[in-house]
Amino acid sequence: MIRLDKYLADMGTGTRQEVKKYIRKGLVRVNQETVRTPEMKICEEKDEVFLEGQRIAYASCEYYMLNKPAGVVSATEDKRETTVIDLIRDRKRKDLFPVGRLDKDTEGLLLITNDGQLAHRLLSPKRHVDKTYYAKVSGCVTREDVLLFARGLDIGTDEREEWTMPGELEILRSGSESEILLTIQEGKYHQVKRMFQAVGKEVVYLRRERMGALVLDKELKPGEYRPLTKKELENVKNEDA
Ligand code: URA
């Protein structure tokens, strides 16, 4: 059960104060009756709430798979830049956030939700959730790099070492520009780019393909998104149990 004003505010129809005004003005109906008391308790599963005749369904948690395009930032709000949340035009909840961050120029899989518990567990360094990236790298990626990545790399500075955990590097094509898949279990700042820098190479294109059980849907073009399927949600929740 949840207060009527909170129900409407949670669904992004206005601030708590604005919503109280709508209710007092008689714009809100619960089932068949106009209700003027913001504190009325609503059963999210059974009651039907209408604002100016339009049904406002309650979603306690939302889960979207976004193929993040380059040029948008992995934040919830930004004064100047487009954020990944701005791209989720069908969102009902106003408290959505991205699970982890991709750099502004990185594309690919990003889970957008308001399920804080799930996000916390997916991002917990203790859980070692696999993340797979596809990259184009300038320079020839070699068998030696594969071995170096498998040992873990120092991606720190001259003053301070910073070792990564082992990463699984698969070479798809090597040449003056190479294509690779890299699976890592951490999310250090610019980690993939810094791992290649550590072996004297530069990432020129980066896309996340997988995060734990969640695989980027090939049908989604950069900038497109869709709700997670039941099965995907089940898998993500189970792996993290
Ligand atoms: N590693 C990076 O360098 N950038 C990302 O966006 C993600 C992983």
**Residue carrying the six token digits 């989720």:** 88
Atom of ligand 1 nearest to the CA of 208: 7
> To test ligand 1's pocket by mutation, which of 190, 202, 216 has the most ligand atoms within 8 angstroms of CB?
190
Please answer whether residues 4 and 11 qualify as being in contact, where contact means their C-beta atoms are separated by less than 8 angstroms.
no
Measure the CA–CA gap between 156 and 51, rounded to whole angstroms: 55
**Tens-digit pLDDT profile for residues 190-215:** 999 999 999 999 999 999 999 999 99
C-alpha 191 to ligand 1 mean position (Å): 5
Using CA positions, which residue lies closest to atom 2 of ligand 1? 190
Q: What is the pLDDT of residues 146-192, one digit of tens each?
A: 999 999 999 999 999 999 999 999 999 999 999 999 999 999 999 99
How many helices (H) and strands (E) would you count in the chain? 6, 15
Separation of 98 CA from ligand 1 center, angstroms?
14
Structure tokens that stand for 194 in this block:
């810094």
Helix (H), strand (E) at residue 88:
none
CA 64 to chain centroid: 8
Q: pLDDT class for 238, splitting at 50, 70, 90?
A: confident
Catalytic annotation, residues: 103
Query: 74 C-alpha vs ligand 1 centroid, how far in Å?
Result: 11
Packing angle of the helix pair 230-239, 116-123 (nearest 10 deg):
50
Q: What's the pLDDT at 124?
A: 87
Q: How confident is the model over 59-69, as a mean pLDDT?
A: 94
Residue 99 and residue 133 in contact, taking contact as beta carbons nearer than 8 Å: no
Structure tokens at 2: 């949840």
* Model confidence pLDDT, tens digit, residues 115-143: 999 999 899 888 899 999 999 999 999 99
Confidence (pLDDT) at 240 = 54
Q: In this predicted structure, what is the pLDDT of residue 241?
A: 57
Q: Are strands 214-215 and 202-211 parallel, antiparallel or unpaired?
A: antiparallel
In the chain, the DSSP E strands lie at 2-3, 28-30, 33-34, 41-42, 49-51, 54-55, 63-68, 97-98, 107-113, 131-138, 168-173, 177-184, 202-211, 214-215, 225-227
- The conformational region for residue 84 under phi > 0 = left, psi -120 to 50 = alpha, else beta, is alpha
H or E stretch covering 150? helix 143-151
Q: What is the pLDDT of residue 196?
A: 98
Which amino acid, 211?
M
